[in-house]
Structure formats: C-alpha cells, structure tokens
Amino acid sequence: EHLPAFGAELVAEIGHTNPVSLSIGLLTLCVALAVRHFRPGWPNYLIALAAGTGLYFAFGPLAADVATVGHIDEALATFSLPGLRIDDVSTLGSAAFAIALVGLLEAVSISRALAMRSGQMIDPNREFMGQGIANLVGSFFRCYPSSGSFTRSGVNYEAGAKTPMASIFAALALAVILLFVSDLFAYVPVPAMGGTIIVVALKLINLREIMHFFR
C-alpha cells in the first residue's frame, strides 16, 4: 500500500535532486564497493568517506547547499538521575512500551540476520537482557533508547568482529574522536555518509529469503 505511493512521490520529486549531493553520494558508494572488491583488506568505508569529502571540497561554492555533519559538542554524557514522576507513567507508558518492543524486535532481527551468515547460534533471552540493561544504565546518562544497529552491525561483521569487545573498542574510539578531533568530522558531507550506509545495507539484504517470503 505504501510502497507504490512512495515510488510515485520519489518520481515526482526527482526533479529537485541536488546534482552535487548526488555526485558525492554516488562517488562514495562506488569507491566503497570498488575498494571492497579489489582490496578487501583495506578500510573501504574510511577511504570512501575521504573520497566523498574530497569531492565536496573540490566542488567549492557549488557545494554550499550540501548538508554536512556540522559542529559536534566536545563532551561526554554526564551522570544524572532521571526525573521520573508517577504522572509520567500514564503519559509515557504506551510510547515507552512501543519503543521498547520495536527496539527488541530490531535487535533480534539483526542478530538473526548475522547469525545466518556466520553460522552462530543466538539466544533471544540474552539479547533482551542486554537491551534492558543498556537502556537502564543509559537512562542515568540522558541517552536515547538504544537497540541494535543494522549499519554498525554490518560494518562490525565485515571488519571481522567476533566478540562484544568490538563494540567496546568502537565506543572508546568514538570517545577519543569526540573529545579531540571532532572538528575534523564537521565537514564530512551527509551524502557521503549516506553512500556508506547504502553499501552496508546492501550486504544485509538476503534476496533468497525475500523470494521465499513472496512464494
């Protein structure tokens, strides 16, 4: 029902495409795919982001309308007690339940998708427990509701991650970037990031399962 409407709207708005943004996104996508194919051991996403950012600067004034990551506050989350009142339970209860349900389904879907490729066994109960603990701790640091990430999980898998330590090292690297070199990422164009996300998403699509579903 919604897919045809989305397709029609996409065709109707195609005339408003920003050619500079499109060029940056396509270059990033092509570079990521090319590096992954010809140099599997190289960091294809970093190289692709660098290529997309380089093209952004090469366009000069023509790229004035291209969105970038922008300024990132150089600070880590601070501890604070959540201000929960009894009245909030009735106000936020239904929304919180829906967000939790979607987050759990997303996490299990991601873990099953990767388990099918790696041959590993998953325990949904442990996934649920991990999500619950993460969100409980995150509430004391004013975090958004957390769940699994299709793109980050895909990148971790392609990079050869085998244990949860990969996420810990990624978090530490993110903290270092946030505190010391966040200004360098302010100029990364959003279309370049979109190109890398598309490459990751393509690896997570299982056409055989889709065809089996339609049958």
- 127-166 CB burial, b ≥16 within 10 A, e <16: beebbeebbeeeeeeeeeeebbebbebbbbbeeebeeeeb
Report whether pLDDT(1) > 70: no
Reported as a pLDDT band with limits 50, 70 and 90, residue 179 is: confident
Backbone φ and ψ for 123, nearest 5 degrees, come out as: -120, 105
pTM: predicted TM-score of the whole model, two decimal places: 0.72
- Are the beta carbons of 148 and 110 closer than 8 angstroms? yes
Which range, 7-21, 23-37, 79-93, 126-140, has the best average confidence (pLDDT)? Answer: 23-37
Residues of the chain above pLDDT 90, percent: 23
As a whole number, mean pLDDT of residues 34-61 equals 92
Nearest 10 degrees: CA dihedral of 15, 30, 181, 74? 40
The token duo for 31 is 């570079």
Please say if the pLDDT value at position 190 is more than 60: yes
